[in-house]
């Protein structure tokens, strides 16, 4: 059975160049590429050739992924607080749950701002 090649292997970029880096250099390149929201290959091409990377190469940074995951977790925690508030009978518990819910709402707003979106 013939092995299917990936889409990028069947396109225009057929030449493969290699370079050796120290572990520290490789880590710095990966971090910078991630901060730029690009693959390492796209980052190196843009840096070496002094060109703007194509828009299609951009991807969410690790920070954006982490913030998106955090938003999901905040929603689950907020739902747990709502369920606890429904089950609680004491006023003191309600006050604490309301305060925690307000804090979660503020965290949610900050997360959306970090993603460049409206809450």
Cβ atoms 40, 29 nearer than 8 A: yes
* pLDDT confidence of residue 3: 54
15-25 residue pLDDT tens: 888 999 999 99
- Across the chain, mean pLDDT equals 78
67-82 residue pLDDT tens: 888 888 888 888 887 7
- DSSP one-letter code for 61: -
- Give, in order, the Cα–Cα distances in Å from 92 to each of 32, 84, 85, 95, 96: 48, 12, 11, 5, 6
* pLDDT confidence of residue 7: 58
pLDDT at 111 over 60: yes
């Amino acid at each position: 059975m013939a092995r299917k090649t990936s889409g990028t292997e069947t396109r225009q970029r057929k030449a493969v160049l290699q370079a050796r880096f120290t572990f520290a250099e490789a880590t710095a390149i990966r971090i910078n590429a991630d901060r730029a929201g690009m693959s390492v290959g796209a980052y190196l091409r843009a840096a070496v050739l002094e060109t703007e990377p194509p828009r299609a190469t951009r991807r969410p940074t690790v920070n954006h992924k982490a913030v998106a995951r955090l938003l999901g977790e905040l929603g689950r925690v907020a739902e747990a607080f709502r369920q606890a508030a429904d089950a609680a009978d004491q006023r003191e518990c309600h006050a604490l749950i309301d305060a925690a819910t307000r804090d979660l709402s503020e965290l949610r707003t900050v997360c959306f701002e970090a993603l460049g979106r409206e809450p």
